Amino acid sequence: MGRAIASNALTFFILALVCIAGLLAWGRQAYNGPGPLTQAVCFKVERGASLSQISRALEAQGAISDARIFRVGADYDDKGSLLKFGSYLIQPGSSMADVIGQLTAGGQSTCGREVNFRISVNATDVVLRELDAATNRYVEVAKFDPATEAAPAIYLEAANADDMRWRITLAEGVTSWQVVEGLKRADFMEGKIDQVPPEGSLAPDSYEVDRGADRNALLGEMSDRQSRILADLWAARAADLPYDTPEKAMVMASIVEKETGIAEERGKVASVFVNRLRQGMKLQTDPTVIYGVTKGEGVLGRGLRQSELRRETPYNTYVIEGLPPGPIANPGRAAIEAALNPDSTDYLFFVADGTGGHAFATTLEAHNENVAKWRAIEAAQPKDTGN
């Protein structure tokens, strides 16, 4: 009798162990296996939220299949107390292990709303945008010019959110003065800028910043990035360029940047100026003359006058020989690369072709024909009456 009871007890114990092992295996599979999401979602971890609250919210949003397994797995991995505040883009099929890994990694939020403060050649604007998790594309929510417009209420409300991301974006071809003036209007930054950085020394790019970031520190980051870009590309430059220092190459890059906004033309435009320098021809480029007039402080807003084209200034390349004394803007990486590795052509001239690009020529005769075509296109365009 006693032996039978002991045997039955052992059998039940073994069955219990088998069941527990099965449950553990099932739980491990559920925790590490593909999750239920069929499309990406943006999940926000509220400041001070508990693991229990987050697990239930994840389950309600369809990001995980079982809140209890999520909590057990997170604690088993010693991550239950490491949750980081922010908004996170959870991809389709993410396992619970993947999700807890994201929510405890920290760093910049990967979704939600973002303010993009854009400094371009003709304007500065502030764009409030939100990531659409389903398409992984940003959708514009609000936009305004901080120099002429008051911030809309939707922006002011969103800007106070703890998980708001902030970004400063510089367009290629902006001048250092334009960058400084733009940063002064970035009211989410701090610090007084005492002087304008040297022209050409700032890298056009997109920079993530924190609210309260120092303006001078950001300018330092822009300068460091531009220095690294120039050093890398200078090391891989073409042979026999008509400029022998990185500083002169940056002058050329800035001219290329201002002459064309079409990526595939940069190498051709650079080849024209390189060929002219090699043959001792004047560069004869309007953007340098314009810089001599404006000093990089704003946009000219009109055509050049004949007196300005004839006046001898350090930047009037219709009068001076060779390159002007310094850059006329902050060129992007592609323009610097074009200046250091220009296309191999015989072109000496180019003019607008009416499509946004340029017509290139090797002889003055062919160039004059291209100019005549462009004049005809200009004459056919409707005149602005100012009404």
Same domain, 292 and 272: yes
pLDDT at 374 over 90: no
How far apart are the C-alpha atoms of 294 and 292, rounded to whole Å?
A: 6
Same domain, 128 and 213: yes
How far apart are the C-alpha atoms of 378 and 368, rounded to whole Å?
A: 15
Phi and psi, residue 203, nearest 5°: -85, 115
Same domain, 50 and 100: yes
Give the length of the chain: 387
How far apart are the C-alpha atoms of 320 and 328, rounded to whole Å?
A: 15
Same domain, 92 and 160: no
Q: How many domains does the chain have?
A: 3
How far apart are the C-alpha atoms of 387 and 243, rounded to whole Å?
A: 48
63 against 140, higher pLDDT? 140
Torsion sign across C-alpha atoms 231, 267, 378, 324: positive
Task: Identify the domain boundary among 90, 111, 132.
Answer: 111
Within a domain: residue 3? no
Within a domain: residue 354? no
Within a domain: residue 301? yes
Task: Identify the domain boundary among 77, 111, 145.
Answer: 111
- Tokens standing for residue 13: 């114990």
CATH code of the domain in which 106 resides: 3.30.1490.480
How far apart are the C-alpha atoms of 132 and 39, rounded to whole Å?
A: 11
353 against 252, higher pLDDT? 252
Within a domain: residue 98? yes
Over the stretch 203-252, which tens digit does the pLDDT of each residue have?
999 999 988 999 999 999 999 999 999 999 999 999 999 999 999 999 99
Same domain, 76 and 147: no
Answer for the pair 318, 309: CB distance below 8 angstroms, yes or no: yes
Over the stretch 81-117, which tens digit does the pLDDT of each residue have?
877 777 777 888 888 888 788 778 766 567 778 899 9
Q: Which residues fall within 8 angstroms of residue 339, CB to CB, at 6 or more apart?
A: 249, 250, 252, 253, 256, 270, 331
Answer for the pair 334, 266: CB distance below 8 angstroms, yes or no: yes
- Tokens standing for residue 244: 């022998």
Q: For position 2, what pLDDT does the model report?
A: 56
Pairing outcome for strands 113-119 and 165-170? parallel
Same domain, 117 and 219: yes
Q: What residue has token string 């009037």?
A: 316
Within a domain: residue 382? no
Q: Is 281 left (phi over 0), alpha (psi -120 to 50) or beta?
A: beta
Within a domain: residue 13? no
Q: Specify the 3-state DSSP secondary structure of 254.
A: helix
Torsion sign across C-alpha atoms 302, 308, 309, 314: negative
Name the residue range of residue 168's domain.
113-230
How far apart are the C-alpha atoms of 378 and 354, rounded to whole Å?
A: 8
**CA-closest candidate to residue 186, choices 218, 161, 154, 157:** 218
Same domain, 90 and 179: no
Same domain, 272 and 318: yes
Same domain, 117 and 193: yes
pLDDT at 9 over 60: no
Q: For position 97, what pLDDT does the model report?
A: 84
pLDDT at 385 over 70: no
Same domain, 47 and 148: no
How far apart are the C-alpha atoms of 372 and 363, rounded to whole Å?
A: 14
Within a domain: residue 386? no
Same domain, 188 and 224: yes
Answer for the pair 361, 272: CB distance below 8 angstroms, yes or no: no
Task: Identify the domain boundary among 79, 111, 143.
Answer: 111
Torsion sign across C-alpha atoms 378, 382, 383, 387: negative
Mean local confidence (pLDDT), 42-57: 80
Within a domain: residue 26? no
Same domain, 93 and 158: no
Q: How confident is the model at residue 386 (pLDDT cuts 50, 70, 90)?
A: very low
**CA-closest candidate to residue 116, choices 135, 139, 148, 132:** 139
Distances (CA, A) of 383 to 150, 356, 375: 33, 19, 14
Q: For position 384, what pLDDT does the model report?
A: 54
b/e code 343-375 from CB counts within 10 Å (16+ = b)? beeebbbbbbeeeeebbbbeeeeebeebbeebe
Task: Please count the other Cβ atoms lying within 10 Å of the Cβ belonging to residue 134.
Answer: 10
- Looking at 279-343, list the stretches that DSSP marks H as alpha helix, in order from N- to C-terminal side: 286-294, 306-310, 333-340
Answer for the pair 47, 86: CB distance below 8 angstroms, yes or no: no
Q: For position 278, what pLDDT does the model report?
A: 95
